[in-house]
């Protein structure tokens, strides 16, 4: 079982604790809404949504997360700043958990963050993301808004392998986040494609080993676009998706962006099983403390 020698940072955002040693806190499950093919997204430019459908999907996700003793964040995708802000406000009213402000670029997500600041919602809002292309001007805007939490996306054509991604974090992304006065740093190791997720597993372990920062990644796009398994039907496909997510969990990931919230039944119990096993090992074998935010007492 994994246990890192370096002290692991734990960040608290709203009602969620991200980070720590494997098993210390439950893995945070991040489900997505308002992605390109989400049927609940009726007009992406105006932010018009089917509220009944969203409410049903999100509430089911939160309910399953709670039943399994896990933690949740909602990933809110948006291409237009006004629409993204409107969607964030809706989700913030619907649930108590934090949410990713996942604009397609800075021109959509930074204005949305500014609007959330005016609404008093920055304590739960996580900027997704700061990357190698984030300009000094935009870092200054992020600082002036008062953004507290941000994802650092370790992506770039020159940063493919684990040590390259670590270098990008150390030399650019972390210093830039410090310039923006970000308090809560979260690392996304940036998935390229399905087979290269092995690189993300190793990068996650390396970042936690060397930096102790909460780390995870998003295998969702890679696995949902995998056509090969679709010929076997929905149940085998669900099994394949769940198996990949548990593989990601075994990397020591602090969070997993698992894709559409509607797949919660397929994903959450599997990740809770791994998370609970990690907590058992930490408490029973390592004789270390675990937080109340684990599934250990609920699922076994």
Residue 47's pLDDT band (cuts 50, 70, 90): very high
Distances (CA, A) of 210 to 169, 170, 206: 11, 10, 6
Question: What pLDDT digit, counting tens, does each position of 217-239 carry?
Answer: 999 989 999 999 999 999 999 99
Question: What pLDDT digit, counting tens, does each position of 229-284 carry?
Answer: 999 999 999 999 999 999 999 999 999 999 999 999 999 999 999 999 999 999 99
Q: Which of 226, 150, 224 is nearest to 188 (CA)?
A: 150
At residue 270, the pLDDT reads 96
Alpha-carbon distance of 200 to 187, in angstroms, equals 11
Rounded average pLDDT over 89-116: 97
Domains along the chain with CATH numbers: 22-299 (3.20.20.20)
The helix or strand, by DSSP H or E, that contains position 40, with its residue range, turns out to be none
Its pTM stands at 0.97
Structure tokens at 258: 């698992």
Query: How high is the mean pLDDT of the chain?
Result: 96
Rounded average pLDDT over 4-30: 97
At residue 2, the pLDDT reads 85
pLDDT at 1 over 80: no
Asked whether the bond before 274 is cis by omega within 30 degrees of 0, the reply is no
Q: What angle do CA 75, 39, 127 make, to 5 degrees?
A: 15
Question: What pLDDT digit, counting tens, does each position of 134-159 carry?
Answer: 999 999 999 999 999 999 999 998 99
Provide, rounded to the nearest whole percent, the portion of the chain with pLDDT above 70.
Answer: 100
Question: What pLDDT digit, counting tens, does each position of 84-102 carry?
Answer: 999 999 999 999 999 999 9
At residue 204, the pLDDT reads 98
At residue 211, the pLDDT reads 98
pLDDT at 111 over 80: yes
Rounded average pLDDT over 38-59: 96
pLDDT at 293 over 90: no
Alpha helix ranges (H) inside 126-263: 136-145, 162-168, 174-179, 197-210, 220-224, 234-249
At residue 29, the pLDDT reads 98
Residue 158, classified by CB atoms within 10 Å of its CB into exposed (0-12), middle (13-18) or buried (19+), is exposed
Alpha-carbon distance of 258 to 146, in angstroms, equals 28
Question: What pLDDT digit, counting tens, does each position of 58-67 carry?
Answer: 999 999 999 9
Distances (CA, A) of 65 to 31, 62, 271, 282: 11, 5, 10, 21
Distances (CA, A) of 42 to 96, 151, 262: 24, 28, 17
């Amino acid at each position: 079982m994994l246990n890192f020698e370096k002290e692991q940072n734990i960040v608290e955002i709203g009602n969620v604790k991200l980070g720590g040693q494997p098993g210390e806190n439950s893995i945070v499950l991040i489900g997505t809404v308002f992605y390109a093919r989400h049927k609940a997204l009726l007009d992406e430019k105006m932010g018009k949504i089917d509220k009944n459908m969203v409410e049903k999907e999100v509430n089911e996700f939160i309910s399953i997360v709670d039943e399994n003793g896990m933690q949740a964040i909602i990933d809110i995708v948006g291409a237009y700043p006004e629409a993204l802000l409107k969607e964030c406000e809706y989700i913030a009213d619907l649930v108590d958990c934090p949410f990713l402000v996942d604009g397609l670029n800075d021109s959509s997500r930074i204005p949305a963050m500014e609007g959330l600041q005016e609404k008093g919602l920055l304590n739960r809002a996580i900027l997704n993301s700061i990357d190698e292309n984030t300009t000094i001007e935009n870092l200054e805007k992020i600082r002036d808004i008062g953004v507290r939490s941000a994802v650092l996306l370790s992506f770039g054509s020159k940063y493919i392998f684990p040590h390259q991604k670590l270098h990008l974090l150390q030399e650019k992304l972390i210093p830039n986040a410090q310039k923006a006065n970000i308090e809560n740093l979260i690392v996304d190791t940036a998935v390229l494609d399905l087979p290269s997720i092995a690189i993300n597993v190793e990068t996650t372990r390396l970042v936690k080993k060397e930096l102790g920062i909460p780390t995870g990644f998003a295998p969702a796009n890679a696995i949902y676009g995998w056509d090969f398994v679709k010929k076997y039907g929905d149940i085998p496909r669900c099994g394949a998706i769940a198996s990949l997510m548990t593989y990601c969990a075994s990397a020591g990931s602090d969070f997993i962006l698992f894709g559409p919230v509607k797949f919660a039944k397929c994903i959450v119990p599997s990740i809770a099983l791994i998370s609970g096993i990690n907590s058992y090992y930490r408490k029973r074998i390592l004789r270390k403390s675990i937080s109340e935010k684990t599934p250990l007492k609920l699922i076994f």
